[in-house]
Homo-oligomer: A and B are copies of this chain.
Amino acid sequence: MKRVLLKISYDGTNYCGWQVQPNGKAVQETLQDALEEMLKERVNLTGCSRTDAGVHAREFYCHFDCSESIPTAAFVPGLNRLLPDDIAVLTATDVAPDFHARYSAKGKKYTYVIDNGVVADPLISRYALHIKTPLDTEKMNLLCSALVGTHDFKSFSSSKRTVTDTFRTISECGVEKKDNLVLLSVTGNGFLYNMVRIIVGTAIDASNGKLNEKDLEGLFELPRDEIGMTVPAKGLFLEKVLY
């Protein structure tokens, strides 16, 4: 037996997320089907995180255990031949039997893409939220800076969350403008359900002046309904997983 770690990438538009769900097709399921065809047995795939329906991944990791019959390097071309165009296996490597795609991860980096042009660009509408009003990246960066550190992010998560410890550590958070795009990046040791999407909604509120400097001081005491909306999944990319 060996443990194999796959680094994959996917366009989440047509999926209900990583994890198998009652409704819709999951990335996990699609990859498991391809693996089953190669290995002639069903394996259990463990992902580095759940991603919401519609979220994309430039980099996502998952591991599985299997016999030595197939050389690890062969999983890359083998699986890519079987997978649809919107999922790709980038690398396959042997890892120690106690390596765990989720628990060994030290952190993750997400990026959210906002199309801030006057007219929504149809060539990126699949991968960006369109906001017509010019965003104030300086005000957004004030909000981002306030998030850095270890805080109780309870208000920054969906009430559907299943965890009880709502403290998380954000190591980097910032916004940059590239032509018509406004990109928010955030790196942390873990994220609550919908947390990144609520952070982006709150940064938009900061830009619009709905959240002022005084609010920023007491940010983590504000109730859920006084911070930003959960922005759509389509602009969100899991960018990097840190091991």
| A→B interface (CB under 8 Å) | 9-11, 56, 58, 76, 80, 85-90, 119-123, 125-127
Contact = CB atoms under 8 A, between A and B. Distances in A.
A11 B80 contact: no
A148 B79 CA distance: 42
A9 B121 CA distance: 8
Given A85-B125, A125-B86, A126-B126, A80 B120 contact: yes
Contacts of A56: 123
A80 B132 CA distance: 12
Contacts of A126: 11, 85, 126
Contacts of A86: 122, 125
Contact of A11 (B11, B89, B123): B123
A127 B85 CA distance: 12
A227 to B, nearest CB: 28
Given A11-B122, A11-B125, A86-B122, 10 more contacts: A9-B123, A10-B122, A11-B126, A58-B123, A76-B119, A80-B119, A85-B125, A85-B126, A87-B122, A123-B127
Interface centre among A11, A80, A123 (most CB of B within 10 A): A123
7 contacts: A9-B122, A11-B126, A58-B123, A85-B126, A86-B125, A88-B119, A88-B122
